[in-house]
């Protein structure tokens, strides 16, 4: 998948004086608008799942091929350029055929009924994010969550029914449950927006070391909190145990230069193999960002967005924990 911000009132005023115009709304599933000289697109990807459900129900033995044909392939064609990694969606844990087509149909219909709000809230979040940190145009693809999948309820309930990831430097994917919360969606869009802006100058790579990879999540969390200071995000909350926090610090210090995805997943997804709380990396990196901003209150969002991870650390109170990353 993120509150004191002195120009928040200005953001509100700019919203009221919005000079952005709708460029097109050629169907209910998408909205394209121009804001501050850039074009932003929001796509709700719901009907594609209904088509898949209809086909899979008639041919259950072909569910995987049908899911690829009616969901994955059209989305990749729309969201990815020819030169982009065409396996990005197939590699993502959330893109597998749903377990219960009937449940899927029911959940998608609930989201279609909420589509007007989904588009409205996503647009509002994008505008507030652009006000805080300008960018080139971005695209958002919003898809349903398979709530029949194992662990879906426990994974999504604590985070307000949303999750997401940056697909390319200009495109994010957002997953929503039928009961998603308004502020969870807006906060998530801001979080992923920050990743996209960061990626404009720092294209993601599998060779990225663990520490800057994790700190990028702290930056995105801090940005979302700056844009929406009234919202408390679950995934970057403080640790409840000092002992467990120390264990996570020690793990991050020991593996700071590791590039393997398994090391990253332990801190940003499921850390149960190490006995860590979920999203431990978000919590640690958010602490670093809080400390950095306390020590450097005049640093602008744009400055700390592109500031090297080692410099952020050096100018925080946690530099003694990772001296080998600074020297």
Question: Which residue from 160, 302, 147 is spatially nearest to 223, judged by alpha carbons?
Answer: 302
The average pLDDT across 52-61 equals 93
Summarised one tens digit per residue, pLDDT across range 118-127 is 999 999 999 9
Summarised one tens digit per residue, pLDDT across range 112-154 is 999 999 999 999 999 999 999 999 999 999 999 999 888 888 8
> Which secondary-structure segment (H or E) carries 201?
helix 182-201
The answer to whether the CB of 56 falls within 8 A of the CB of 62 is yes
Output the pLDDT for position 87: 59
Output the pLDDT for position 324: 47
Question: Which residue from 48, 49, 44 is spatially nearest to 29, judged by alpha carbons?
Answer: 44
Confidence of residue 2 (pLDDT cuts 50, 70, 90): very low
Most confident by average pLDDT, 91-95, 274-278, 316-320: 274-278
Q: What is the DSSP letter of 277?
A: P
The answer to whether the CB of 3 falls within 8 A of the CB of 192 is no
Output the pLDDT for position 95: 76
> What's the length of the chain?
327
Summarised one tens digit per residue, pLDDT across range 230-283 is 999 989 988 888 898 899 999 999 999 999 999 999 999 888 899 998 899 999
The average pLDDT across 302-325 equals 84
* CA-based end-to-end distance of the chain: 31
Q: How many helices, marked H, and strands, marked E, lie in the chain?
A: 15, 6
Output the pLDDT for position 94: 64
Output the pLDDT for position 327: 43
Per-chain mean pLDDT for the chain: 86
**Secondary structure (H, E, C), 215-251:** HHHHHHHHHHHHHCCCCCCHHHCCCCCHHHHHHHHHH
Question: Which residue from 185, 220, 212 is spatially nearest to 2, judged by alpha carbons?
Answer: 220
> Pick the residue with more confidence: 10 or 106?
106
Residues 6+ apart with CB under 8 A from 208: 259
122 token code pair: 């996503």
């Amino acid at each position: 998948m993120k509150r004191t911000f002195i120009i928040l009132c200005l953001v509100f005023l700019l919203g009221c004086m919005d000079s952005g115009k709708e460029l097109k709304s050629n169907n209910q599933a998408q909205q394209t608008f121009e804001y501050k000289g850039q074009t932003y697109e929001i796509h709700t990807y719901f009907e594609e799942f209904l088509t898949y459900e209809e086909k899979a129900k008639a041919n259950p033995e072909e569910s995987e091929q049908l899911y690829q044909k009616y969901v994955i392939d059209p989305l990749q064609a729309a969201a990815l350029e020819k030169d982009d990694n065409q396996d990005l969606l197939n590699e993502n844990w959330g893109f597998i055929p749903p377990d219960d087509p009937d449940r899927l149909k029911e959940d998608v219909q609930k989201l279609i009924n909420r589509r007007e709000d989904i588009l409205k809230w996503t647009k509002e979040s994008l505008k507030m994010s652009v006000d805080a940190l300008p960018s080139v145009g971005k695209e958002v693809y919003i898809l349903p969550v398979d709530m029949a999948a194992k662990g879906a309820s426990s994974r999504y309930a604590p985070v307000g029914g949303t999750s997401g990831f940056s697909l390319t430097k200009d495109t994010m994917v957002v997953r929503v449950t039928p009961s998603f919360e308004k502020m969870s969606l807006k906060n998530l869009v801001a979080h992923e927006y920050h990743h996209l802006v960061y990626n404009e100058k720092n294209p993601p790579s599998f060779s990225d070391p663990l520490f800057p990879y994790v700190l990028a999540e702290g930056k995105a969390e801090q940005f979302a909190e700056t844009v929406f200071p009234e919202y408390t995000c679950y995934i970057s909350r403080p640790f409840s145990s000092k002992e467990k926090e120390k264990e996570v610090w020690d793990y991050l210090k020991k593996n700071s230069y590791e590039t393997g995805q398994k090391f990253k997943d332990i801190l940003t997804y499921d850390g149960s193999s190490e006995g860590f709380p979920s999203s431990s990396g978000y919590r640690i990196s958010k602490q670093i960002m809080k400390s950095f901003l306390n020590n450097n209150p005049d640093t602008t969002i744009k400055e700390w967005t592109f500031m090297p991870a080692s410099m952020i650390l050096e100018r925080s109170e946690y530099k003694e924990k990772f001296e080998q990353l600074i020297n």
